[in-house]
Structure 1
């Protein structure tokens, strides 16, 4: 009788061990010690980002163009405050108008399209070609919307022309040195961090605070942001600055390279590594929108 009970206990313990083993992840961690908050955030990133990659080309260009308009309004606020106070730090806080408009308007800024869309593709919920289309059309929309709006700003507020020319020259005539490239790298890191912070909370107030903080860092400290600073250059050109589109092309290539290194090569890569286990689970069971 005792032998039968002992065998039964061993059988039950073996079954429990098998069940526990089945619930462990690839690193041997069972459910109780997995970081569910990190995994829930990653799930939210993929779920929220997936529809963005399945927009039509027209929708992508429209969303990017609206974002260019909104960022240009932030530049307007920056120029007005800088001219009134002489402080770029205060102007950087004023620029947060643009980031808040992006947040509440659900429009697309190119440098905010690193973490979320890449996570969707890494999870096999969309293809790399969709990601490339998303980036190109969003960027085109950002630049077109920003160019047109900065033309309107300079002509509607002629008193800001001298400030627009001066700020545009900061970027259009800058040297291609390690320091300026690192300013672009840091800007890419900070912008992608903003995306992560926005996806890490459902509190709109917290999202607004994050937007103000990042605006202060990127605009107030004159980091090299490919889209934002292109709008400063466009404003200076419209206002009669001595630099031109050739200067802008050089600046844009330099800054977008740094933004990609910081946003993709550092922040996004580390975030994907941080959520590596959950990413592998997504890859093993692609969702209904997976298209090869």
Structure 2
């Protein structure tokens, strides 16, 4: 590649390259955190999402509108963004890119995934218990919404909902890294919440917290064994969606742009 080719590189490709470099720079310390830091950040992630679920339940109870409730859930994703906490499905794009770049190992990735998921669920379980004790008027809504997910069954339709949920939340992560504007990042969080919760996509942590809220009421037809089976289904689909629908294609694009940059740099030297 001639030097002029690098000069002629479009602004779109330059932004992709810059975003890819930011992703790896962020992922390296995330994958090498101490256990204490990882557990604390992940617990906070469950609590932050719980704030969004609490708001979702209030709006759904007051209006009956799934779309408005989904928009209200954006409080949770904004809290994740500004509070710098960790959500399980946010661990697809950035950490996987970091491992592929050689800045961490697959064992580091599995350690992070397992810890974040478990701690998200523990933090969310505790927070939803507090919400259900504080607001008994929400019990009927929480029980109905929890049953909507856990009792929906294991079909092609529900699996596609989990795949779409994983893809959409990972897309939010990519949008966050595609801009340095905080306004742009908050907009991405709001629109993702609307699509994810407003359109009824399945998310392993978000919908687990709704299921927990239902179980805390004592009014549900499902129990923890039913929820665990549902969780395995949701996690599988979220991983498929997050890795294949969003992460893989964007890594291929980023890799091609970075490869072109490296070849141009060699030509310049």
For normalisation by structure 2, the TM-score amounts to 0.92
1:246 CA drift (Å) = 1.1
**2:133 pairs with 1:169:** no
2:111 — aligned with what?
133
**2:106 pairs with 1:144:** no
> Which whole-Å CA distance do the structure 2 matches of 1:48 and 1:137 have between them?
18
Label 1:216 to 1:120 Cα distance change in 2 as closer, same or farther (>3 A). same
SS for the counterpart of 2:154 is coil
SS for the counterpart of 1:224 is coil
> Which whole-Å CA distance do the structure 2 matches of 1:248 and 1:279 have between them?
43
1:260 CA drift (Å) = 0.7
> Which whole-Å CA distance do the structure 2 matches of 1:80 and 1:205 have between them?
26
> Which whole-Å CA distance do the structure 2 matches of 1:252 and 1:43 have between them?
33
1:277 CA drift (Å) = 3.0
| Contact residue 61 and residue 140 of structure 1 kept, 8 A | no
1:243 — aligned with what?
222
| Contact residue 71 and residue 98 of structure 1 kept, 8 A | yes
1:187-266 matches, within 5 Å, as: 187-240=165-218, 241-266=220-245
| Contact residue 6 and residue 261 of structure 2 kept, 8 A | no
Which deviations, in whole Å up to 9, do the C-alpha atoms of 1:223-265 show, x marking residues without a partner? Answer: 1100100001111000112210111111111111111111002
1:100-119 matches, within 5 Å, as: 100-119=78-97
| Contact residue 65 and residue 145 of structure 1 kept, 8 A | yes
SS for the counterpart of 1:222 is coil
1:15 — aligned with what?
none
SS for the counterpart of 1:175 is coil
**2:31 pairs with 1:32:** no
SS for the counterpart of 1:275 is helix
1:111 CA drift (Å) = 0.4
Q: How many residue pairs end up in the alignment?
A: 260
Which deviations, in whole Å up to 9, do the C-alpha atoms of 1:34-61 show, x marking residues without a partner? Answer: 6221101100111112111111111111
> Which whole-Å CA distance do the structure 2 matches of 1:50 and 1:195 have between them?
16
SS for the counterpart of 1:33 is coil
**2:263 pairs with 1:267:** no
Task: Give the superposed CA RMSD.
Answer: 1.8
For normalisation by structure 1, the TM-score amounts to 0.85
2:33 — aligned with what?
55
> Which whole-Å CA distance do the structure 1 matches of 2:127 and 2:188 have between them?
25
Deviates more, 1:272-281 or 1:130-139: 272-281
| Contact residue 124 and residue 282 of structure 1 kept, 8 A | no
> Which whole-Å CA distance do the structure 2 matches of 1:197 and 1:86 have between them?
30
| Contact residue 123 and residue 282 of structure 1 kept, 8 A | no
Query: Runs of 5+ in structure 2 lacking a partner?
Result: 263-269
1:12 — aligned with what?
none
Higher RCO structure (Cα 8 Å, ≥6 apart) = 2
| Contact residue 50 and residue 125 of structure 1 kept, 8 A | yes
